[in-house]
Amino acid sequence: MQYYRSEYEKNRIVCLLCRHYCKMKEGQVGICGVNKNIGGELKTLVYGHPSAMNVDPIEKKPIYHMLPGTLALSFGTVGCNFKCPFCQNWEISQETKVDEKINVSPEDMVKLALEYETQSIAYTYNEPTIFYPYAKDIGILAKEQGIKNIFVSNGFESPEIIEDISSWLDAANIDLKSWNDEYYKKVLKGGLEAVKDTLRMMVSEGIWVEITTLLIEGENDRDADLVEMAEFIANELGRHVPWHLSAFHPDYKMKDHEWTGIDTLMRARAIGKEAGLYYVYLGNVPVHGDTACPECGELLIDRTGYNITVNRLKDGKCPKCSRKIEGIWK
């Protein structure tokens, strides 16, 4: 696909990578700071220039219902289309200076994944839709090698990108950061309705979706909001969609804020279960992230931290009652 459209009468282009739809005259960059109008075309300045790379357990993304116990080659670049004051990767996400001395071609990225025997590549650490041209070129090559592809995203992809991405992306963990549209717009510089639409579209396109909500006490943990959030997931996306409730720790512009208490997480988990969600997990706290069969309650996967200590799934099914467990297991 072409990642921009031209507005010839106004001598500018419109970036199609995210829902900001930045309009850029010659030489201008978008809100993300890393996509630029050069010669009437969109140039992704971070193409081939990752700023962070690691080999992580897939559970760290977090993705719990795809290839448990395997490794993901994870990388990100500088830049972001959101301005979250609690960002844990703000050193790169809120940076726009590209280190062009670092060059990793799509072919080289896939070679690294094969070398480290990772079964997936995770586009993460900053917002991957802003480096989508780079990600897609990697993802297509990875798919040819039998390597899965994962987006860890704020969910502000444009509909055009979502339609295109479904041909090569296997899974996504999408942040549902708040149930307050004003908070999304004023504080995060995004939009709740856009994120909800992205979630609906990704599920509809057949991408395996998991959702993460970073709970910050006093910001997004009202019972009424959590109830509506859980009911949205259950009723519009599906009761099978995993919901990860993650504890906040002070960082970036919110270092004076309190850590999220375990009681808050447990309260939110109870709300998720009450809404009928099958799989609700807690993150950033020392508790097990077990997966149990929604039908008979049998323990299927025992997670201690990022380690899988038990995996009783047989061909993606519960060994006791044979219920098919939603996810990607091979």
Which pTM was predicted?
Answer: 0.97
Domain range for 123 is: 52-279
What is the per-residue pLDDT for 171? Answer: 98
Give yes or no: residues 40 and 182 share one domain: no
Give yes or no: residues 106 and 66 share one domain: yes
Beta-strand ranges (E) seen in the chain are 4-7, 12-15, 23-25, 35-38, 41-44, 52-57, 71-76, 120-123, 148-153, 171-175, 208-215, 243-247, 280-283, 291-292, 299-304, 307-311
Give yes or no: residues 209 and 62 share one domain: yes
Task: Express each pLDDT in 260-303 by its tens digit.
Answer: 999 999 999 999 999 999 999 999 998 889 999 999 999 999 99
Give yes or no: residues 112 and 256 share one domain: yes
**Quick check: 312 pLDDT over 90?**
yes
What is the per-residue pLDDT for 9? Answer: 81
Counting residues of the chain whose pLDDT is more than 90, the rounded percentage is 97
Task: Express each pLDDT in 198-229 by its tens digit.
Answer: 999 999 999 999 999 999 999 999 999 999 99
Once rounded to an integer, what is the mean pLDDT over residues 18-34?
98
Which CATH number covers residue 264?
3.20.20.70
Give yes or no: residues 93 and 111 share one domain: yes
SS3 21: coil
Give yes or no: residues 296 and 274 share one domain: no
What is the per-residue pLDDT for 166? Answer: 97
What is the DSSP track for 242-303? -EEEEE----TT-TTSPPPPHHHHHHHHHHHHHTT-S-EEEESSSS---EE-TTT--EEEEE
Once rounded to an integer, what is the mean pLDDT over residues 103-113?
98
Give yes or no: residues 233 and 168 share one domain: yes
Once rounded to an integer, what is the mean pLDDT over residues 56-61?
97
Give yes or no: residues 294 and 239 share one domain: no
The percent helix, strand, coil of the chain (3-state, each to 5) is 30, 25, 45
**How many separate domains does the chain show?**
3
* Parallel, antiparallel or unpaired: strands 4-7 and 35-38: unpaired
